[in-house]
Amino acid sequence: MNRRKFIKSGSLFFAAGTLSSFDFPDAPTYEFNDKVEGPVILSTWIHGLEANRAAWNVLAKGGSALDATVAGAMHTESDLTNRSVGIGGRPDRAGHVTLDACVMDGDGRSGSVGFLEGIAHPAAVAKAVMEKTPHAMLVGAGAKQFALDHGFETIKTPIPEVKKDYLAWKKENKDLFKPPKINHENHDTIGLIARDAKGNFGGTCTTSGWAYKMPGRLGDSPIIGAGLFVDNEVGAATATGLGEAIIRVAGSAIVVELMRIGMKPSEACKEVVLRIIRKNKDLTGLQCGFIAMDKEGNVGGFSVYNGFNFALKSSLRDEMVDADFDRKW
């Protein structure tokens, strides 16, 4: 029996953002069919299920893969209950919620924002950076000014529930530049990759990053080649987990390059995860996961530890898939 399980999304069991398929040992299991026909979207984690449906509204009308992934990302960015993406995200050690995002299309065009505070949709701003500037990346005050100049919605962060948690955390954590604890529960980006009806690929990655990170820290999520990589000649990949480890192996770009030389998406994701494992002597709490899809419609994912899953949506399918992994917690 294949270790991966499909959990039908129509199930009563799901409450987005709270549960993973690991919580339901009795859920129906299916052999994983890695190949998907037609338009398809994959997204990291359980919040991907709802995000995929928002993205599908674009794909089903013949919209582009890039626009679909941005629509999906915006859905998650608006979710007040999500503590790792958008408005509900957790702050850095100084109490600032700083958002990171990037987008890429299959022709190699990309845009990215980092350290963006007080703006509702960093994914949409990243797309505007791609379309309206000669640059690939804007960060901090410049990114914010750009967003304001282009009329992007503003938000007040942290939201009250998150601020309350932060103030409690701060009582125990007074040093602004002490390295944050590695804890697999304090990060969970959404990365979305899609193929549209024309066969073009696009992707978006958006996050509030590692909770209680040092001020100024950027992870992999806004970095093209680390958190996301897309190439119509091959396919697409995106990442989640400890961004530092993903940046150091240029994770998503390498997944795509391994698919270019013939690996299936799951094999390519596994190879990069094994590389991360080899290069990090201490794997305590180091969770990283990748998902990928190729031109033929093969899809897959792999993570360091168990517990990583991704959402898959096509015209026939709408479900969570447990990624394969190297080891158990």
Please give the sequence-ordered ranges of beta strands (E in DSSP) within 71-224, or none if there are none.
Answer: 99-105, 110-116, 137-139, 190-195, 201-207
| Interacting positions 156-195 with ligand ASP (CB under 6 A) | 187-189
Contact 292, 43 (CB under 8 A): no
Residue 86 or 243 having the CB closest to ligand ASP: 243
Integer CA distances (angstroms), 128 to 26, 68, 113, 133, 232, in order: 45, 15, 10, 8, 21
From residue 237 to residue 266, what is the string marking binding to ligand ASP with x (rule CB under 6 A)?
Answer: ---xxxx-----------------------
Structure tokens at 291: 């998902």
Q: How far, rounded to the nearest angstrom, does the alpha carbon of residue 134 sit from its chain's CA centroid?
A: 25
Any catalytic annotation for residue 206?
A: no
Integer CA distances (angstroms), 31 to 77, 100, 217, in order: 32, 36, 41
In the complex, what is the shortest distance from the CB of residue 84 to ligand ASP, in angstroms, rounded to a whole number? 6
Q: Is the peptide bond before 158 cis (omega within 30 degrees of 0)?
A: yes
Stretch that binds ligand ASP, among 56-64, 163-171, 214-222, 307-315 (CB under 6 A): 214-222
In the chain, count of helices (H) and strands (E)?
Answer: 8, 14
Near ligand ASP by CB under 6 A: residue from 106, 209, 300, 301: 209
Total of residues contacting ligand ASP (CB under 6 A): 14
By CB under 6 A, tell whether 207 contacts ligand ASP. Answer: yes
Catalytic, out of 76, 98, 157, 189? 189
Q: What does the alpha-carbon distance between residue 238 and residue 255 come to, in Å, rounded to a whole number?
A: 9
Residue 63 or 89 having the CB closest to ligand ASP: 89
In the complex, what is the shortest distance from the CB of residue 99 to ligand ASP, in angstroms, rounded to a whole number? 10
| Interacting positions 67-106 with ligand ASP (CB under 6 A) | 84
Near ligand ASP by CB under 6 A: residue from 122, 219, 225, 301: 219
Q: What does the alpha-carbon distance between residue 69 and residue 58 come to, in Å, rounded to a whole number?
A: 9
How do beta strands 324-327 and 309-314 pair?
unpaired
Stretch that binds ligand ASP, among 8-16, 17-25, 167-175, 203-211 (CB under 6 A): 203-211
In the complex, what is the shortest distance from the CB of residue 223 to ligand ASP, in angstroms, rounded to a whole number? 10
Residue 59 or 304 having the CB closest to ligand ASP: 304
CA atoms 37, 51, 42, 46: torsion sign: negative
Please give the sequence-ordered ranges of beta strands (E in DSSP) within the chain, or none if there are none.
Answer: 6-8, 40-44, 99-105, 110-116, 137-139, 190-195, 201-207, 228-231, 235-241, 288-294, 299-305, 309-314, 318-322, 324-327
In the complex, what is the shortest distance from the CB of residue 62 to ligand ASP, in angstroms, rounded to a whole number? 31
Near ligand ASP by CB under 6 A: residue from 166, 210, 212, 305: 210
Stretch that binds ligand ASP, among 35-43, 66-74, 140-148, 206-214 (CB under 6 A): 206-214
Near ligand ASP by CB under 6 A: residue from 50, 196, 220, 231: 220
Q: Using CB under 6 A, list all residues that contact ligand ASP.
A: 84, 187-189, 207, 209-210, 219-221, 240-243
List, by residue number, the catalytic residues. 189
